[in-house]
Amino acid sequence: MQLIPKQKESNDKHIVFLDFDDTKNPLLNAGQAKATYEVGKRLATMGYRVSVISSRYPGFQDRIEDNIYYHHIGAYSHNIRFNNLAYIAALPFTVSKLKADIILECFTPPFSTLFSPLWTKIPVIAKPTSFEAERFAQLYHLPFPLIERFGSQFYRYFIPSTVFSQRKMEMYNPSVVSKIIPEGVDDVYFTIKRKNFSYILFLGRLDIGQKGIDLLLEAYRNFAKKLDLPLIIAGHGPDQNKISSLITRSGLDKKVWCVGSTYGEKKAKLLSQAACVALPSRHEGFCIFALEALAAGLPLVTFDIPGLSWTTTQVALKAKPFDTTEFAYLLSQVVNPALNRQMSTQAQKLARNYTWDTVTQLYCDFFNTVFAREHQKIQAIFEQKAWQ
């Protein structure tokens, strides 16, 4: 299945991303879709042919954007879970017809692995966008971790974004070849000028189970008693109505403002006036927004979870999971002007290590490792046949 025609000045290497999400998907548009787009468009400028296979959604269109070809499969509705299952069901038929040099599979909930190596001889690199089958097993009372563990054994290559994911995969599959590659950040976030503190900011998917917004509201009740600084909740997601009800039941209607989806200039303005970013997540892969906030010079207040282990104590105050009393105390500390300025400087220094150009080069280096290993494997087969 040739998804995109050869381009001039191509290095004749075709990279296919299997990413359930898409930057145009109104039901999701989460961090991995952003990462796929940012890395993909840079790979295209380096001569690679790049395709992305995503789920269908209302209003979807196959398209070429920044020399990335987006192709959509499965059935669609306004229910993201249905779209997810339809995508997973359609994927084996699509993968079996692919013509590419490397397939990069973004793990997909609820059981992470999509078993792509079983449907093709093309080298598959797994990326643990969602590598938390245990959480979905608790939600749906199904044995997803068994599927995750079993499927992980079929991958030869793996690019985790954190040490935690790397160790988990190596426990399932000791022979896997892996390289930690973080997510990246746009240069534009470094240009945001901070202004007077006006509020605490949460920005992300409105998913209570993952993002811990219920924990944030519980902590904020304690914080609000000490400091008169409102909380802004920005984003969209499946729990929007639940969060509005929770705010009302908590008596925080006049203190907590929900401002909806936030992109572009609106997002930059929100960052410029925030005292800090609150990230009360129970689970994270690699939170791109955390990196964007650091690039804008904003300190973080988080729980000390594996998915945020890449953030240092110089840029993030971390409460014990999931101690809302300590979280509230850290919120009150981070708004201290002297500490805030110190953390702001360190935040931008850390973020400078994570530009998308740097990240894309790491992808290219790992692709070359895969090409070399595959070539050695083919050579070994030929040599073995020659001796027979």
Over residues 197-224, the mean pLDDT reads: 92
pLDDT exceeds 80 at position 178:
yes
State pLDDT tens for residues 122-175: 999 999 998 989 988 988 899 999 999 999 999 999 999 999 999 999 999 999
Kindly report the pTM of this predicted structure: 0.86
**Angle of helix 213-226 relative to helix 324-334, nearest 10 degrees?**
50
Q: When comparing pLDDT for 264 and 173, which is higher?
A: 173
Q: What is the pLDDT of residues 305-364, one digit of tens each?
A: 988 999 999 999 999 999 999 999 999 999 999 999 999 999 999 999 999 999 999 999
Residue 15 has pLDDT above 90, yes or no: yes
Q: What is the mean pLDDT of residues 23-36?
A: 90
Token digits for 382? Answer: 């030929």
Q: Cis omega (within 30 of 0) on the bond before 164? A: no
Interior angle at CA 204, CA 37 and CA 41, nearest 5: 5
d(CA 94, CA 75): 14
Q: Which two tokens stand for residue 48?
A: 């690679």
Q: Which sign, positive or negative, has the C-alpha torsion 333, 335, 338, 339?
A: positive
In terms of Cα–Cα distance, which of 71, 209, 202 is closest to 139?
A: 209
SS3 68: strand
pLDDT value at residue 381: 63
User: Looking at residues 216-231, what average pLDDT do you find?
Assistant: 88
Q: For residue 9, name the pLDDT band (cuts at 50, 70, 90).
A: very low
Describe the crossing of helices 337-351 and 288-295 by its angle, rounded to 10 degrees.
Answer: 110
Backbone angles phi, psi at 208, to 5 degrees: -60, -45
CATH number of 14-184+355-384: 3.40.50.2000
Fold agreement between 14-184+355-384 and 187-353: yes
Under 8 Å between Cβ of 177 and 158:
yes
CATH superfamily for 187-353 is: Glycogen Phosphorylase B; (3.40.50.2000)
The answer to whether the CB of 257 falls within 8 A of the CB of 273 is: no
Q: What is the pLDDT of residue 189?
A: 95
What residues does each domain of the chain span?
14-184+355-384, 187-353
What CA–CA distance (Å, rounded) separates 89 from 85?
6
In this predicted model, which residue has the larger pLDDT, 243 or 375? 243
What backbone phi and psi angles, to 5 degrees, belong to 14? -110, 120
Residue 287's CB is within 10 A of a number of other CB atoms, namely 23
